[in-house]
Each structure stands twice: as C-alpha cells, then as structure tokens.
Amino acid sequence: MELSPTLKELVFEKSLLKQTVYKATREAFDLFRTNTRDLIRQFQEACQTDGKNIAFEFTDRGDFEFEVKFAGDILIFMMHTNVFEFSRDHQVMKTPYVREDPRRSYCGVIHIYNFLADSFAYQRDNDLGYMIGRVFVNHEKHYFIEGKRELGMLYTNFNTSVITPETVQNIIESSIEYTTNFDLLTPPYDEVKLVSVGEMRTTFDKKMLVTAKRLGFRFQADSE
C-alpha cells in the first residue's frame, strides 16, 4: 500500500512550517537575551557612574529561559518550545494579514513574567507572579504582543511589526517600565485580618502567607 501523496504533502508542509516558526522564534528569543544582557550592563555602569546602590543582575537559565533582577523585581523571559495555532474566534484570525495566508497564524511564543525579588530570595513559594506579556512570532518574523498597558499591541499591527534588534529593545524597555510602575499594594484589610495558628507558626519557615503585587486587586490596566 503506497503512501498517500495528499497525506505526505500535508505532513511535510505542516512540519516544515513549524520548523520555520520555531527557528524564527528562537532567533527572536536570542535577540531578547542579547539585548537584555546589554541593557543590564548599561544599568550597572550607570549605577557605578552615578554612585547608586541598586542591584541589576542578568542570569542565564538555559536555552529557553533567562532572568533579570532590578531593584525589588524580577522579570523572567521564557520561550515555549512548541508552535501554536489560534482558535477561530481569536481576533488575530480576523485580520486581513492572516486571512490572506492562514500559515501566518502559526506562532511561537515568548512569555514575560514579573515576580518580587524577595519571593525568590526568601523562598516564599506561595507568592504570586504575573505574566505581563507574551510575544507571538510567526514564520515571517512578524510579531504581536498580548500584554498589559505599555506592552499591549493591536492585532492589526501584525502585518507590519517585524522582529528586529530595535523592536526587541523597545519590548524589553517597556517590560521594565511597566514592572517599575506596577507597585506592590497592600491587600484589603478584610482579606488578611484572619490568620490561623498554623499559618503564623510556619510563616517564617514555610512562607504560608501569600505576597503579590495585586493580591485582592485586579491589574490596574484591567479596569482601563
């Protein structure tokens, strides 16, 4: 029984497309890594020049993850190793750019998470972080961002927005800007007024009390 030419074409075409998307996303992630490392170096030099005692650290965590620490915050950039397609109801599927060529909707994704630096320093495993943005990259190296405030982009920009060192730099700077302005707020009193004996006894060992920038709150951007 011979292999169906239609099936062969389908498998080969889809596999090659996903390989191309993966390569484009990996190249974009490497740009994020290089530009972020350079930006942190510039911050470190500026601190020395200005006599500022502010911590700026870059930590490489393998091929698909790196971490940036500045002041009391941490940003973690993570590339997913798989390629994704959007649901038919997603707004990006309704853009002329994707309708013209459905292959353009297959994307790799880079996630950007924000955590409190103290959550890691004091091993507060119950503390919460937030995904402040995710960058989608297709086989043509076009991208768009789903994100908060400074990071957000319209889906209609997908046809014109291309990954370059300059656009990556802008995304990184916007991520740092958003994180810096995303302050730690005290939760509502009624949500934290009751603490069990067990929680209090283990607070300093097990870190049972949760800390997060918007514990009990929505993102400020969610109401804008």
pLDDT in tens, 165-217: 999 999 999 999 988 887 766 666 776 666 666 666 665 554 455 666 654 33
| Average pLDDT for the chain | 85
Tell me the whole-structure pTM to 2 decimals. 0.83
pLDDT of res. 184: 66
Q: Which parts of the chain sit beneath pLDDT 50? A: 206-207, 215-224
Backbone dihedral angles phi then psi of residue 61, each to the nearest 5 degrees? -120, 35
Q: Give the per-residue pLDDT at 153.
A: 61
